[in-house]
């Protein structure tokens, strides 16, 4: 009877189309939620800002309203774009230089315990020195061009990448590492097969910190000595009590840093998809 019932049920369901899996819809909803919720939160904060300025009649020279900032930004977009260019050059080159140096020195520390014991504390001490104190020294030594700003941005990005990559290269499963040694694998093979894949999540974690940090480093260096850049606009607006320009420059800097962070996240997702396809 049970067998006959199973056969009958199977014959009845032959013409019924298979139910679509709800997983793609759930994934699409989750993906949309990850984008919409931050936007909703940002809109809410802007509305609170606008309401606070309007209700309490805050003086425009103290705090500009979002509408005033947006209008000033649109009217003076050429000014902000021309000053964003040097800041972008400085931050991007510093980002690249700091990350490359951090990865290479992390490799040296992993493969040489003597170098790690000798210079890792020095790198930590350098990281504890305020960047505002280092920037004038670099400007005195390197001049007022791009070089000191790139160096400051590189210093800010260097240490997070160094720490994360040392941890990433050493996060290999000890049993797998022992197996590679038993199989007489070369250091290059161990690096490509074990250490490099295990360090990828640590690398992107470092890049997410380094991307906004490079922008901050370039702007801080522009505060000390520069006649162009977003940092220069912030200092000029502060000294001349230009509140709309100050808030607009801050918005441009935040938007640019957020764009760099988004590019890192996009690269991580694309690498994850490529790895799954491979």
Per-residue pLDDT tens digits for 5-43: 444 434 444 444 444 445 555 665 665 666 788 788 888
| Between 101 and 29, residue with greater pLDDT | 101
pLDDT at position 13:
42
Residue 107 banded pLDDT, cuts 50, 70, 90: very high
Residue 6 confidence (pLDDT): 43
Sign of CA dihedral 225, 231, 237, 238: negative
State the span(s) of the chain assigned CATH 1.10.3720.10: 65-277
Q: Which residues contact 76 (CB under 8 A, 6 or more apart)?
A: 245, 248
CA-atom Rg of the chain in angstroms: 26
How far apart CA 19 and CA 199 sit, in angstroms, is 41
pTM greater than the 0.85 cutoff:
no
The closest alpha carbon to 146, from 101, 94, 191, belongs to 94
The whole-number pLDDT of residue 27 equals 60
Cα–Cα separations (whole angstroms), residue 177 to 109, 132, 186, 196, 217: 18, 43, 11, 13, 38
Per-residue model confidence as pLDDT tens digits over 108-129: 998 888 988 888 888 888 888 8
pLDDT of residue 11: 44
Nearest to 214 by CA among 129, 156, 160, 264: 156
Evaluate whether 257 touches 265 at the Cβ level (below 8 Å).
no
Q: Under CATH, which number does the domain 65-277 receive?
A: 1.10.3720.10
Contact 106/165 with Cβ under 8 angstroms? Answer: yes
Q: What are the φ and ψ backbone dihedral angles of 18, each rounded to 5 degrees?
A: -65, 140
User: What pLDDT digit, counting tens, does each position of 253-276 carry?
Assistant: 999 999 999 999 999 988 876 555
Phi, psi of 57, deg, nearest 5: 50, 50
Number of neighbours of residue 236 by Cβ within 10 angstroms: 15
- Each residue of 238-259: b (16+ CB within 10 Å) or e? eeeebbbbbbbbbbbbeebbee
Q: Residue 137: its pLDDT value, please?
A: 85
Contact assessment for residue 220 and residue 194, using Cβ atoms and an 8 Å cutoff: no
How do residues 160-210 score in pLDDT, each as one tens digit? 999 999 999 888 878 887 887 777 778 888 888 888 888 999 999 999 999
Question: 105 falls in which pLDDT band (50, 70, 90)?
Answer: very high
- Mean pLDDT, rounded, of the chain: 83
Q: Which of 19-28, 183-192, 223-232, 243-252 has the lowest mean pLDDT?
A: 19-28
Under DSSP, the state recorded for 130 is: -
Separation between Cα atoms, residue 180 and residue 125, nearest integer Å? 36
As to burial, measured by CB atoms within 10 angstroms (0-12 exposed, 13-18 middle, 19+ buried), residue 22 is exposed
């Amino acid at each position: 009877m049970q067998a006959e019932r199973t056969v009958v049920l199977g014959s009845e369901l032959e013409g019924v189309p298979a139910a679509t899996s709800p997983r793609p819809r759930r994934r699409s909803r989750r993906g949309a939620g990850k984008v919409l919720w931050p936007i909703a939160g940002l809109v809410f904060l802007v509305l609170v800002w606008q309401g606070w300025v309007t209700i309490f009649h805050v003086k425009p020279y103290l705090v500009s309203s979002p509408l005033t900032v947006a209008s000033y930004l649109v009217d003076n977009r050429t000014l902000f774009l021309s000053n964003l260019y040097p800041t972008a050059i400085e931050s991007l080159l510093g980002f690249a230089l700091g990350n490359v140096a951090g990865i290479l020195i992390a490799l040296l520390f992993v493969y040489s315990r003597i170098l790690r014991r000798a210079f890792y504390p020095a790198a930590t001490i350098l990281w504890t020195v305020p960047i505002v104190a280092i920037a004038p020294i670099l400007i005195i030594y390197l001049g007022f061009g791009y070089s000191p700003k790139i160096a400051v941005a590189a210093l800010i990005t260097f240490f997070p990448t160094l720490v994360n990559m040392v941890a990433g290269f050493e996060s290999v499963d000890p049993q797998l590492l022992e197996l590679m040694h038993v199989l007489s694998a070369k250091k290059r093979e161990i690096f490509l097969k074990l250490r490099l894949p295990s360090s990828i999540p640590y690398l992107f974690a470092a890049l997410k910190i380094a991307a906004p940090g490079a922008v901050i480093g370039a702007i801080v260096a522009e505060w000390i000595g520069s006649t162009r850049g977003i940092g220069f606009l912030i200092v000029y607006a502060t000294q001349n009590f230009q509140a709309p320009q100050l808030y607009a420059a801050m918005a441009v800097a935040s938007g640019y840093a957020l764009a760099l962070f988004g590019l890192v996240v996009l690269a991580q997702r694309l690498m994850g998809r490529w790895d799954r396809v491979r």
